[in-house]
Amino acid sequence: MSATAKPSIGHLVIVGVGLIGGSFSLALKRAGLVGRVTGVGRSRDNLELAQRLGIVDAWTHDVGEAVRDADVVLLAVPMSAFESVFADMAASLSDHAVVTDAGSTKQSAIAAARKFLPNPSRFIAAHPIAGTEQSGAGAAFAELFEKRLCVLAPDPDSDPDALALVKALWHQVGSRVVCMGAAEHDDFLAAVSHLPHLAAFALVNAVRRQSYEGHDPFRFAAGGFRDFTRIASSSPEMWRDIALCNSDALVKQIDAFQAELSGLREALMAADGESIMNEFKAAKEAREKWLAEHGDGL
């Protein structure tokens, strides 16, 4: 199947009916590409809400039961749950079922699939680079993935039909699909996503730990601080999971970032205005080039 052929799924199972899982279902339903959708999750309230909103046609807490006749299974749960979810579905998956995910780190997802799935070649690791601060089924909307990048990380063992189907599905929900190696993906995302999150948390903590007599330093923070630290209001659980799942790449990025900070510190100590200016200018230019080239998909 080519990426432009319209796929059709009889039974889609969404494990984790939150913003990502729910939006995936809504987008495929809107496109008329799916027969029925079963949601799996822990929160009864969230699953009932998903059903009321037409995101899922049925739901259960039991992933093994849900996937029994599934054609496609999407994992949209926190990274820390991947192993147990794969383990729970392993015995019930049919031979033809295709499994994909929406996790932020791909090497760990593939490792978990290899460890627990009967046929890991039919697992195609995916990462839709999309999201909002909102979570839960109530936040889902069919347009979430439109124009957003979705990285697929197949490997040489991946089943070509499974890959073609997953590619077509993400294409149909509006994503711009890119294939690359899992390690490369994890390096990139460590740089442009995981590190910024970690740095935002770290910076808020640096301020928080400083006590000044009579004044709260946060009081003097303004719009720049608000935007810089916006991602420090993200889910601590989710980002702990991502950080742990991608710790090798993230540590490398922390080191690269610390080297930049140390370079600027040195220039400051030497009152080397020219170096500081060159660094700030290069950063501004790189950011503006990025926005000009890729800003429309944000």
Residue closer to its own copies (CB basis): 32 or 273: 273
Minimum Å gap between C-beta 103 and its own copies is 15
Minimum Å gap between C-beta 187 and its own copies is 7
Residues 124 and 155: their CA atoms lie apart, in Å, by 9
Residues 159 and 146: their CA atoms lie apart, in Å, by 26
Residue closer to its own copies (CB basis): 94 or 205: 205
Interface of this chain with its own copies, residues 135 to 174, rule: CB under 8 A? 148-149, 151
Residues 32 and 232: their CA atoms lie apart, in Å, by 38
Site string for its own copies, 77-106 (x = CB under 8 A): ------------------------------
> Could you say whether residue 260 binds its own copies (CB under 8 A)?
yes
> Could you say whether residue 58 binds its own copies (CB under 8 A)?
no
Query: Helix (H, G, I), strand (E, B), or coil: what is residue 95?
Result: coil
> Could you say whether residue 5 binds its own copies (CB under 8 A)?
no
Range list of H helices, the chain: 19-30, 44-52, 63-67, 82-90, 106-116, 160-172, 182-189, 195-208, 223-228, 236-245, 247-269, 273-294
Q: Which of the stretches 45-53, 59-67, 88-96, 280-288 binds its own copies when contact is defined by CB under 8 A? A: 280-288
Minimum Å gap between C-beta 258 and its own copies is 6
| CB-neighbour burial class of residue 211 (10 A; exposed 0-12, middle 13-18, buried 19+) | exposed
The conformational region for residue 199 under phi > 0 = left, psi -120 to 50 = alpha, else beta, is alpha
Nearby residues of 110 by Cβ (< 8 Å), 6 or more positions away: 120, 123, 125, 153, 155, 182
Q: Which of the stretches 33-41, 60-68, 81-89, 229-237 binds its own copies when contact is defined by CB under 8 A? A: 229-237
> Could you say whether residue 250 binds its own copies (CB under 8 A)?
yes
Q: Which residue of 117, 125, 130, 153 would you call a contact of its own copies, by CB under 8 A?
A: 130
60: which strand partners? 40
Interface of this chain with its own copies, residues 185 to 214, rule: CB under 8 A? 185, 187-189, 191-193, 195-210, 212
